[in-house]
Amino acid sequence: MKALIETIVRALVDYPEDVVVTESSDESTITYVLSVHEGDIGKVIGKQGRTIHAIRTVVYAAASDQPKRVVVQVKDKG
Amino acid sequence: MKVITATASTVDEAIQSALNELGVSRDRVEIDILDHGKKGFLGIFGNKPAVVKVTVVPHPIEETETFLKNVIEKMGIKATIEKVENDKEVLFSITGEKIGLLIGKHGQTLNSLQLLAQLVANRYTQDYINITVDAENYRTRRKEVLTQLAEKLAEKAIKTKREVKLEPLPAYERKVIHAALANNGQVKTFSVGTEPHRYIVIAPMHERMSR
């Protein structure tokens, strides 16, 4: 799932080498925190969150056979 | 983006060796000549090699195709993608296993893939390229469903003499509804709200509008 998020995001940003996805999980949820170059944050979120919404939709579809809930977050700068 | 620098005794040779290494043709690269090189005296003293920097210019449609292939593969789906290009309109049709997963509820996964593919395609071009992503003819089937829905709701609007509101739909699906009822003299259609919650209203023609 990490590789899927990285594949999508690297194709959208100006600094693909700065794309880092970290994974953490507890009993019920797997959380992926997406960190990108400061100048790319707007690109991955998109106008009114359209892009991040699309990324989440694709990731959730791929994770549909997963018993745990999957969450994708964008890391704020700082 | 792939960039390499190549060195040879002449500029042309350096470019050729860079192209060979990259495995692309000359029309797909940008060339920067860093050093024209010098022959030197009697070819012995002070000769300097030519140095060029060659950058592969991404081809928007190929980048998009690669993007879709990679994403679908990483979703764990085995599929093949066919591409139909028509000037600035490109259609990618996906066929294979587990396509239902790729389409999603009301096509939401397919629409998301399409939006992302659209973003990738237009990263590399000034001209706007319109990308459609289809899977197992979903778009055609959806068009039939929407057309039938439009006709059914138009009848309802006429019968009840009231406006009928639809669920929010993406622009290209609203277009199908507008088109389906464009020649229906008894109703008119318009969209209300802002994306992504923009929806269609079907209104009977002879009623005073109360929007």
Q: What is the pLDDT of residue A19?
A: 95
What CATH number has the domain spanning B60-136? Answer: 3.30.300.20
State the ipTM, two decimals. 0.94
Residues of B in contact with A4 (CB under 8 A): 71, 74-75
Task: Give the model confidence (pLDDT) of A25-70 as tens digits.
Answer: 999 999 999 999 999 999 999 988 999 999 999 999 999 888 899 9
Closest CA to B83 of B133, B130, B39: B133
Residue B208: is its pLDDT beyond 60? no
Measured CA distances, B93 to A68, B90, B111, B143 (Å): 31, 10, 13, 16
Question: Cβ B113–A58 below 8 Å, yes or no?
Answer: yes
Question: If pLDDT is split at 50, 70 and 90, which confidence band does B22 have?
Answer: confident
Question: Cβ B116–A12 below 8 Å, yes or no?
Answer: yes
Q: What is the pLDDT of residue B205?
A: 86
Answering whether pTM is above 0.90, one says no
List b or e across B1-14, with b for residues whose CB sees 16 or more CB atoms inside 10 angstroms.
eeeeebbbeebebb
Count CB neighbours of B87 within 10 A. 8
The answer to whether B100 and A63 have CB atoms below 8 angstroms apart is no
Mean predicted confidence (pLDDT) in B93-108 = 91
Domain with CATH 3.30.30 in chain B: 3-56
A17 in B contact zone (CB under 8 Å): no
Task: Give the model confidence (pLDDT) of B149-162 as tens digits.
Answer: 999 999 999 999 99
Residues of B in contact with A7 (CB under 8 A): 67, 70-71, 74
Is pLDDT larger for residue B38 or for residue B45?
Answer: B38
Q: Encoding tokens for residue A70?
A: 């999957």
Q: What is the pLDDT of residue B41?
A: 65
Question: Cβ B109–A61 below 8 Å, yes or no?
Answer: yes
Q: Domain B141-209 is in which class?
A: alpha beta
Q: How far apart are CA B167 and CA B199, in angstroms?
A: 6
Domain with CATH 3.30.300.20 in chain B: 60-136
Question: B3-56: what fold?
Answer: Defensin A-like (3.30.30)
A9 to chain B: closest CA residue: B116
Domain with CATH 3.30.1370.50 in chain B: 141-209
